[in-house]
Structures are given as C-alpha cells and as structure tokens.
Amino acid sequence: MIYTIGICGVSGGSCGPNGLYDLLKIKYGDKFIEYETIRANEQLNTLKVIEIINKILINEPNSKFNLIGYSMGGTVCLYLGLYFKKYNCINKIIFCSTQTIGFENLNNLNCKIIFFHPHNDNAIPFKYVYKLYELYPFEKNFYSLSKCNHCWENVNLIKIINLIEKS
C-alpha cells in the first residue's frame, strides 16, 4: 500500500500550497494524510509524522510513503527521508517551494525526489533550490513554476497532480 503525506509550511495548517492537499485528499481518500503542521517547528513536526508512519507500519509493514512538503514541510520531509532510510519505506519526496534548512544532507537520501519551485519565489530563491537539484545524484525531476510566487497563486493544481502521478 502507498500512502501520501502532505506537510505544510511555517504558518501551520494542512491545506498545502494553494489548497493542493485538499485536492489530493479528494483524489486519494484515506490513502492521503493531511498532516496538521505545528507552526514554525521542524523538529516537533518531524517527530509527529514519524509517529504517524510508525503506526501505519505496525499494521502494514510493507507500506510505502510519498511525502509532499511545502516550504518548511520540505525540511520535515527531508528529515523523514533520512530517518526512514534504513527501512526503505519512502518511495519519493516531493518538495514544493521548499525551504533549504538541512539540505546539506540531501545526498544522503535513497529515494526519488521531485521539486516544484516557482521561478519568482519571493521567500526561497529559485537558484538555490535548482542548485540542490543539480547536485542530487539519484533519480529526480524538477518543475519550474512560472507566473506564481511562493504561495502558488495562479498554479494549475490539476496539472501539478498529474505531474506528481507521472513522476
């Protein structure tokens, strides 16, 4: 079974960039987990999602996980990927307008990564995120989002969902 967990940014909540997670919940039902992010706390959010994944793995030990992290949630996904590396249960990590705290450890992951990043991101410069992508030695995809900012205004979310499924 594959579960997808959406993790939001520093302001908290669970809807993802421009409501993306709400649409994924409609599409995937109970196989999509909208994690209610605690404001501005990467470490605590990481521990809480570890608990969620462990509870699933106790009952379904062969489960795999796709992680989607928006802004600060990208750092949480990175930490989760590193933590669960030895269990080989992280299928892929999708970074959406990700912050880059902790990303000096990106190359220690062992899963596919996908970046969706606005070319005009007003919070995290595009060039920094693209450089991280270029340095990652394993399977990866990068999608540059034009005509939007960090909050993904004017993004076709259906197209994003299709790219996530295709990648």
At a CB cut-off of 8 Å and minimum separation 6, what does 104 contact? none
Class of the 2-166 domain? Answer: alpha beta
Mean pLDDT, range 161-165, rounded to an integer: 96
Query: What pLDDT is attached to residue 15?
Result: 86
Q: What is the pTM of this model?
A: 0.97
Calpha distance 63→149 (Å, rounded): 34
Q: Where are the domains of the chain?
A: 2-166
Give the model confidence (pLDDT) of 63-112 as tens digits: 999 999 999 999 999 999 999 999 999 999 999 999 999 999 999 999 99
Query: What pLDDT is attached to residue 14?
Result: 82
Residue 160: C-alpha distances to residues 2, 99, 151, 156 (Å)? 19, 19, 14, 7
